[in-house]
A and B are shown apart, each in its own frame.
Chain A
Amino acid sequence: MDVENSFGLELRARRLLLGYSVKKLAKLSGVSRRWITCAEEGSNITIEVLRKLMQTMRMTVITIFPGLTAEAGLADTGIAELAAAVEEITGSAALARQAGERIKSFALGVGKSVPKDTPENEGFNERAAALVTHFTEHVRSLSDPDNLQKVEKAVSSFLRPEADAQGTAKAPPGRRRKSSG
């Protein structure tokens, strides 16, 4: 009934005014979410639950029935509420610090290479380094000028390997065909 539910509506209105979710109110008041829902629906709840909710939301008076009100003394700010506030502030400060660091790192180093976590791979590294040495020895052993010239040309691909590896070399202009449409 509407009359009976007036305290539930008041509780809900106060909760929404404070911007609390049911979950948050439950955390702050120590009342379970189920009981909060019951209270807001106007179901029977204990006086203790009502007191906790009123104190948490800093309500001094609530209408139970028309002409019948209940009062609750304001409790000191609860430890839970303080803890939640501290948690929130700490979280915001951490976020702000993180954002600040990101902006700073951006300002100091846009375009920097992103460091990668190199896995422990000593076997691979040894083998790869040996292959480089083998290559240099091979080139040193070449005496034929033609072969050396081939190496010179191929070494250029060090600076632009993808053109060779991916086959993205541009087609000769003569083969370009482009329609108007």
Chain B
Amino acid sequence: MDRSAGERNETGELLLRFRRWLDDPEASPGIIRDLIGLDNERLGEFVRLNTGAEMLSSIRTLLTRSRESLAGAPREAIALTRLATALGSCYFTADPQLDAAVEGDAWKAHADALLRAGDYSEADRACRQASSFYTLVDPEDCLYERTQLNVTEAKVAHFLGDAERALALAGTAAATLARAFPKKKKDYVRARTTFATILVADFQRYEEGLKALEECAELARRDGDTESLASLVNNIGQVYARIGKLTEAKECFTTALQGFTSLGLKTDMPRVHAGLARILMQEGRFNEAVSEHYMARAAYLDLRMPVVAAEVDTHIIEALFAAGRTRDIPALCALAVETFMTANLPREAAKALAYMNAAAQRGTLTTDKLEDVREFYQRLQADPDERFDFD
């Protein structure tokens, strides 16, 4: 078999694995990474093996799954959207405007994922890419997408310290949504909240910012937009927690949790449990904090996010230390090993867990070691190639 025939077979094999992944992401682990690793020639060949409609549908699935993992696993979302941008660059139809729109959407999703992960410079670059593709599309055909992109650009500009630009982008986006898309009230609320946030955080224009926030809440209430309200209340809870208003923070978290639960927004729920647990820890109610952490852990396991769930385990052990329940720690660690064996915990994370378990069984687990393991889990979420190598 000559080399090119061999490569064609390999590409065909990749296509089969990718199709399995489209049916069930668990069925074909590693395919996204393998496809990202292809050079342009091979990727072009891969795209040509698909029909046009199939490719379009595949890119759409990548973007949908990236949105689903955005809140809990932004690095995964980055990988998915990176692949979507690569496939988009090799995908051509008879309609160049459609091609540009597809690429613009892929880059916009990539920017969102990078923003979530805190890669602001890269997110800025992705925003520019998306924007340049949208300029190739009839402005009327992509006004909505461009407006959404403006909200992302506003957030990126805020984090990069360009407050003037951030305010202008968020204000323009909110005004465009109100004028051209009066039915997209949720989007308007999000854009206006971004605008209000920038007014308060970057310009100290409290009166205007707070008024805009009240307006958003009233609009969401009138519109029955429970999701936006739950999100607003969760954010306010975070603010209260940071300024030491624990009672108010707890009320906000409890309310937000009810909203997220009623809407079935699973990805938002564990974050609220974590917020509640932190407050309980500050109040010295360690056993209740353990319960909240357990709920967060169960939710993350349910969301198939074992590394984050393992990180929550370290918070549980920390709470047990604080509660003086050190005798419970070895049993918990042993149980965690059992739980995570069936949860597809990555190898390096499993090594960290085993290290923690061994220390717990020997009675040598300290809060310092615990912090090391937790930081390793956090780094692993940011970089899946991270290696566990503690002495």
Residue ranges of A at the interface with B (Cβ–Cβ < 8 Å) = 99, 103, 106-116, 118-122, 124-129, 131-136, 138-140, 147-148, 150-171, 175-179, 181
Contacts and interface: CB of A to CB of B under 8 A. Distances in A.
Nearest to A107: B98
Contacts of B381: 168
Nearest to A119: B262
A131 B236 contact: yes
Interface of B: 53, 56-57, 59-60, 63, 67, 71-72, 74, 98, 101-102, 105-106, 108-109, 115-116, 118, 141, 144-145, 148, 155, 158-159, 186-187, 193-194, 197, 200-201, 204, 206-207, 209-211, 213-214, 216-218, 220-221, 224-227, 229-230, 232-236, 238-240, 242-243, 245, 248, 251-252, 255-256, 258-259, 262-263, 270-272, 274-275, 308, 311, 315, 374-375, 378-379, 381-382, 386-387, 389-390
A162 B209 CA distance: 22
Contact of A136 (B63, B213, B233): B213
B238 to A, nearest CB: 5
Nearest to A137: B210
Contacts of A111: 63, 105, 108-109, 145, 148
B105 to A, nearest CB: 4
Contacts of A169: 378
Given A119-B226, A159-B194, A160-B118, A179 B389 contact: yes
Given A131-B233, A178-B387, A103 B56 contact: yes
B378 A168 contact: yes
Contacts of B197: 155-156, 158-159
A25 to B, nearest CB: 32
A155 B194 CA distance: 10
A20 B71 CA distance: 49
B378 A132 contact: no
Contact of A118 (B67, B224, B232, B274): B224
Contact of A120 (B210, B224, B252): B224
B155 A159 contact: yes
Given A121-B262, A153-B242, A178-B386, A129 B229 contact: yes
B382 A170 contact: yes
A174 B207 CA distance: 41
A129 B219 CA distance: 9
Given A118-B263, A128-B226, A129-B221, 18 more contacts: A106-B60, A109-B144, A113-B186, A113-B187, A116-B227, A119-B263, A120-B224, A124-B229, A124-B259, A125-B229, A132-B216, A139-B206, A156-B201, A161-B235, A163-B118, A170-B378, A171-B375, A171-B378
A124 B186 contact: no
A168 B201 contact: no
B66 to A, nearest CB: 10
A118 B239 contact: no
B375 A110 contact: no
A146 B252 CA distance: 23
A127 B257 CA distance: 13
A111 B110 CA distance: 11
Contact of A154 (B224, B243, B374, B375): B243
Q: Which of B226, B245, B262: most chain A CB closer than 10 A?
A: B226
Given A120-B224, A178-B386, A151 B239 contact: yes
Contact of A110 (B63, B207, B213, B379): B63
A134 to B, nearest CB: 8
Contacts of B308: 166, 168
Contacts of A162: 71, 74, 116, 271
Given A110-B105, A131-B251, A155-B200, A160 B387 contact: no
A118 B105 contact: no
A135 B210 CA distance: 9
Nearest to B271: A165
A150 B243 contact: yes
A146 to B, nearest CB: 10
A127 B221 CA distance: 9
Contacts of B221: 125-126, 128-129
B387 A181 contact: yes
Contacts of B186: 113, 115
Interface centre among A134, A158, A170, by most chain B C-beta atoms within 10 angstroms, is: A158
Contacts of B200: 139, 151-152, 155
A137 to B, nearest CB: 8
Contact of B274 (A109, A165, A179): A165
Nearest to B375: A171
Contacts of B101: 107, 110
A141 to B, nearest CB: 11
Nearest to A115: B186
B89 to A, nearest CB: 15
B276 to A, nearest CB: 10
